[in-house]
Amino acid sequence: MNRYIAFIILILLAIPSLYAIDDNIDSLNQKAVKAYQDKEYQTALSDFIRIEKQGVIDANLFYNMGNCYFRLEQLGMSILYYKKALKVNPTHSLAKKNLDFAFTLTRDKIESSDSGALEKILKNLYHSFSLNTLALISIILFALLVLLLIIMQTLYRFKDKSLPVFFIFLIIIFLAATVIITSMKYSAYHKNSDAVIIALTAVGFSGPGAEYTRVFTIHEGMTCNIEDKNENWVLIKLPNGIGGWIESNLLKRVSL
């Protein structure tokens, strides 16, 4: 029995090694940060891009890249990267602040649909946990559940089981809630329908082609949802509900 516990502890100790990053990449990151501090934003950005190409997913990295783009006056790209940072870590307050500031500089006013107080609280709750935190919470809850079941099976074997059963039900409810939210977040994480306009101007048409009726004109930094794709054209929906087709190279998806 002791052997099994030792094995589990060993595995748990191995978790941090998942997040470990190559020393080379870390030194490249240091170099890029230094370049940024020396106001050489182009150099810093190209180093950051090299790190990103290595498959590193880090909220701070995306946040820093957003700052580089902002300094290089590429508003659309900076908004894209702040959104990426927030996708990795929805609680990244610096990225949230910078995104809000960048939104004030876009030519199109970006309205966020007003929602009720309860909806706001739920939304905040939903956004205050990252996917990894939720995954961690659900596995801990699951472990607790298993532990309680074992205790019930052993220590309470010949006793009144009402107390452990109560706790087991409580944990089952919490676990179900976390699993549901986690799966919701997971599907949202993989939807990749969020996009940011990176071209200075983008014209929306009623169909996939410039020969259709012109529907709207949007500018760099505007956010939208991609709903459909047709060769080089995508159907997007703006936050205020207007929809139209634009050329797919004018926008970039907020994907990791």
Residues that bind other proteins (CB under 8 A): 1, 8, 11-12, 14-15, 18-21, 25-26, 29-30, 33, 36-37, 51, 55-61, 63-64, 67, 70, 88-89, 94, 97-98, 101-102, 104, 131-132, 135-136, 139, 142-143, 146, 149-150, 153-154, 182, 186, 189
Nearer to other proteins, 39 or 116 (CB): 39
Tell me the DSSP string of 109-154. Answer: --PPPP--HHHHHHHHHHHTS-HHHHHHHHHHHHHHHHHHHHHHHH
- Residue 43: how many other CB atoms lie within 10 Å: 16
Nearer to other proteins, 236 or 254 (CB): 254
Q: How far is the CB of 43 from other proteins (least distance, A)?
A: 13
Nearer to other proteins, 103 or 205 (CB): 103
Per DSSP, 106 falls in state: S
| 132-138: long-range pairs with CB below 8 Å, 24+ | 134/178, 134/181, 134/182, 134/185, 135/182, 137/178, 138/175, 138/178, 138/179, 138/182
Q: How far is the CB of 61 from other proteins (least distance, A)?
A: 6
Nearer to other proteins, 30 or 115 (CB): 30
